[in-house]
Structure 1
Amino acid sequence: MKMRFLALCTALAAATVLTGCSQWADSAAGRQKVTLWLMKGSASEDFIDRFTASFEQEHPGVDLDVRIQEWTGIGDKVNAVLKGTSREPADVIEVGNTQVAQYIETKGLSELTLEALREWDSKHWLKGLSEPASVNGAQYGVPWYAANRVVVYNKDLFANAGIKTPPKNRQEWIQATQKLDKGEQQGIYLAGQNWYVLAGFVWDEGGELAVETGGRWVGTLDDDKALAGMEFYKQLQALGDGPEAADEETPPQSQVFARGQVAQIIAPPGQAAEIEAANPALKGKLGFFPIPGKTSDKVGSVFTGGSDLIIPERTANREGAVDVITALVSEKWQTELARAMSYVPNRTTLAHVVEGNEGATNMAPGAAQGRATPASARWAEVEAKNPIKPYMTAVLTGQDPKQAARAASEEIGRVLSSDR
């Protein structure tokens, strides 16, 4: 990666930082600098090198300064840029799709509605990336890439059970998993607190995690539709030995699967590499299929993870920032990123570019109708407390679902609607 060192601010420039100037120019050379923050692991070093070289070649007189950021503590760093108190420049920032709402609340983001409509093909964006970045029809974040969960399965165990094709609907899925759940072999390893998976089942039933009513948020896990999603989760989870009081990382489900006696897990396709690293004997024996929906004509709903790109309102080089986003979301660089990182591109019209990558190909149908968590700036606080997890454990251990769901819903509503 091309590395550049920032010049020291003059006293005037230092004062300007506090008023929001984030683009520093090399006036002697007559060049402009655009600073792009990317999160660690989102793109390979090779991708960043090639993108930087291509962008600078196509934009003479512009230096693109790519800075890699850690996820830990990133919220405070981004907020400092948006408020104009940061001494580190940023003209374009990669943020998690579910984080955009909290940044919109700072009123420090540049609105990108017109560019989205005119230049970035927003009508085909993945909703799970675009909707959390929009408020009242105004767009503040631009989808960059998506990743979501699929079913990762052991081909040998499926073949031994006489299952020749992956299930296409919930009924077929349960029937296949029942066949696979025998002896020491688990039909599926599904931890009791994998709430992202539960969210998909809730959405399939027409339920929600929370809704905004009259300007206040209300948790809705105790709605009959949401309860139906939890009931299906319970039915599926029982066909394996997943812990009822832990999530998918305790222990890491990829490590459990790697032992060779688990037929399926629900995970991003990238976990296949972790499984093969832990057990090389499974290399070439892993398959993928979209999470089945209630009927065969529609795959199951999924939580869409991924990243959006934002431009701080205080940038002094909005035009250059827009140019960077235009390049990053172009078909060329969307294709390059998706193939290099096994991602789903940011819009449905590019789903074909991952053909040949089995994992990414099976992500794409779910991503096309993927969802995100409720678009509240306080949802991160819900996840920090996460009343959904103990609710799930309560149901799986025989407690009254309606009562447990009501308690979780009340806590969600308190967090989302309480004054800061």
Structure 2
Amino acid sequence: MERRRLLALSSLGLVGACGLEPGGRSRRTVTAWLMKDSASQGFLRRFTRAFERDHPDLRLDVRIQQWTGIGQKVQAALNADSGDGPDVIEVGNTQVPQYVEGDRLLDLTLESSLRWGGEGWLPGLREPGQLLSHQYGIPWYAANRVVVYRKDLFAQAGVKAVPRTREQWLDTSEKLNSRGNQGIYLAGQDWYTLAGFIWDEGGELADDGDGEGWRGTLDTPAALRGMDFYRQLQALGDGPADADEEHPPQAGVFAKGKVAQMVAVPGLARTVVQQNPSLKGQLGFFPVPGPTAARPGAVFTGGSDLVIPNNTRERDGAVAVVGALTGARWDTDLARTMNYVPNKKTLAGDVAGEEGLAAMAAGAAQGRATPSTPQWGAVEADNPIKAYMTKVLTGADPATEARQASRRITDILNRLG
């Protein structure tokens, strides 16, 4: 799952000391399922103490879940009649559509618009949490790709400033692609990076705009322009045409010392330095360039939303937990603690002191998510986009291959729809 791969860098029960308020009255328990490694134990302890202090009638029980098998577990909790399951659940931002089906999530549109300032949330988190303009998933935190680069190789090539446009990026990468170095390492099937280029051109991976069901749209002129830019950039290195960025892991390739740039989350730089300590202090970051210098390029936004099951018995308590976790105070605290992007563009300045995080936050303002349909997971499982990319990069006609891939995407979505 991309969200887990993008953000990955025992069950833990954080509960109050007792179930009674100081006056002897019972306290109501709100149970939250949060995912492993999304937040540190220290953050969860700080939040739990503060939340229970501010809500003396509530007790917060945080239960950490594993990503493996979580889909089935969440589906079972949402379908249960007992109401004994979790009151708040963290889900990957692109998972929300599959859980909305069947009226199983609480509609939080009113809270979002009147209390939580939902209009300011990052679109890559906000939009997947919506259905027919109703907000079910509340953005918590984000992460996205940036360009990780070698400062020393830039200097050796006479490159004095990082590129801010696509054309500058191509020129820079070409200069760097010399002296035995790869200007950029870009695997041939890195389709999330391709998606950003397609979005920048005004295209989509799939579309339901005609109201007659979802259809693949890799064959539109805009999407083809995005693929053409990918082809030009990918040629300025030796990334394999028939594999993605995990085969082999691009951090290991970068660590060998002959790559000037890669597209990755900033946290991958730590892995590079662990494998090659001589690169410590030599790595820098900048947002993926866009068509013009006016703004960074579009990027896929991974991250998490918080949802509330409709079968909760603690609606008000659950709403209070979601509101607190996603509010400015604790959302910024989490971003600083875990090197995430906060859920609002207006909070980006609060994490501007760290180069990689600042680059990620700048890109997140142009963040997008995969098509908002419960069936998109089946497309990723079969992934005709990867096969399409390999064929184009090895000389096949882009328009012909794009039509075939688009038909395959359409078939998958309609077959399962």
Tell me if TM exceeds 0.5.
Answer: yes
Q: Shift of residue 2 of structure 1?
A: 6.9
For 2:378, give the aligned amino acid.
Answer: E
**Pair 275,87 (structure 1): closer, same or farther in 2 beyond 3 Å:** farther
**Residue of structure 2 equivalent to 1:264:** 261
**Is contact 2:12-2:63 (8 Å) kept?**
no
Partners in 2 of 1:206 and 1:399 — Cα distance?
A: 24
**Residue of structure 2 equivalent to 1:17:** none
**Residue of structure 1 equivalent to 2:413:** 416
Q: Per-residue CA shift, 1:47-101, capped at 9, x if unaligned?
A: 1111111111111132111111111111111111111168972111010110001
Question: Is 1:233 aligned to 2:230, yes or no?
Answer: yes
In structure 2, runs of 5+ residues without a counterpart are 1-10
For 1:115, give the aligned amino acid.
Answer: E
**Pair 232,82 (structure 1): closer, same or farther in 2 beyond 3 Å:** same
**Residue of structure 2 equivalent to 1:124:** 120
Partners in 2 of 1:200 and 1:186 — Cα distance?
A: 22
**Is contact 1:299-1:366 (8 Å) kept?**
yes
**Is contact 2:83-2:311 (8 Å) kept?**
no
**Residue of structure 1 equivalent to 2:161:** 165
Where does 1:4-23 land on structure 2 (aligned, <5 Å)? none
**Pair 26,81 (structure 1): closer, same or farther in 2 beyond 3 Å:** farther
Which residue among 244, 249, 257 is the counterpart of 1:247? 244
Which residue among 362, 365, 368 is the counterpart of 1:365? 362
Q: Shift of residue 215 of structure 1?
A: 3.1
Which residue among 5, 13, 38 is the counterpart of 1:3? 13
Partners in 1 of 2:278 and 2:64 — Cα distance?
A: 35
Partners in 2 of 1:149 and 1:82 — Cα distance?
A: 32
Where does 1:15-414 land on structure 2 (aligned, <5 Å)? 30-84=26-80, 89-212=85-208, 213-414=210-411
**Is contact 2:27-2:57 (8 Å) kept?**
yes
Q: Per-residue CA shift, 1:285-310, capped at 9, x if unaligned?
A: 11000000111112111111111000
**Is contact 1:82-1:106 (8 Å) kept?**
no
Identity %: 57
- TM-score by length of structure 1 reads 0.93
**Is contact 1:218-1:409 (8 Å) kept?**
yes
Partners in 2 of 1:308 and 1:349 — Cα distance?
A: 18
**Pair 284,80 (structure 1): closer, same or farther in 2 beyond 3 Å:** same
Partners in 2 of 1:307 and 1:214 — Cα distance?
A: 28
Q: Shift of residue 326 of structure 1?
A: 1.1
Partners in 2 of 1:178 and 1:247 — Cα distance?
A: 22
For 1:181, give the aligned amino acid.
Answer: N
- Aligned residue for 1:303, secondary structure, equals strand
Q: Per-residue CA shift, 1:381-405, capped at 9, x if unaligned?
A: 1111111000000000001111111
**Is contact 1:2-1:49 (8 Å) kept?**
no
**Is contact 1:200-1:302 (8 Å) kept?**
yes
Q: Per-residue CA shift, 1:29-62, capped at 9, x if unaligned?
A: 6111111111111111111111111111111132
**Is contact 1:36-1:90 (8 Å) kept?**
yes
User: How many residue pairs get matched?
Assistant: 402
**Is contact 2:184-2:236 (8 Å) kept?**
yes
Partners in 2 of 1:86 and 1:373 — Cα distance?
A: 33
**Is contact 2:14-2:48 (8 Å) kept?**
no
- Aligned residue for 2:99, secondary structure, equals helix
Q: Per-residue CA shift, 1:202-236, capped at 9, x if unaligned?
A: 01111110000223111000111101100100000
**Is contact 2:14-2:60 (8 Å) kept?**
no
- Aligned residue for 1:216, secondary structure, equals coil
- Aligned residue for 2:368, secondary structure, equals coil
Q: Shift of residue 4 of structure 1?
A: 6.2
- Aligned residue for 1:418, secondary structure, equals helix
Q: CA RMSD in A?
A: 1.8
- Aligned residue for 2:402, secondary structure, equals helix
Partners in 2 of 1:58 and 1:69 — Cα distance?
A: 26
Partners in 1 of 2:14 and 2:116 — Cα distance?
A: 29
Partners in 2 of 1:51 and 1:419 — Cα distance?
A: 41
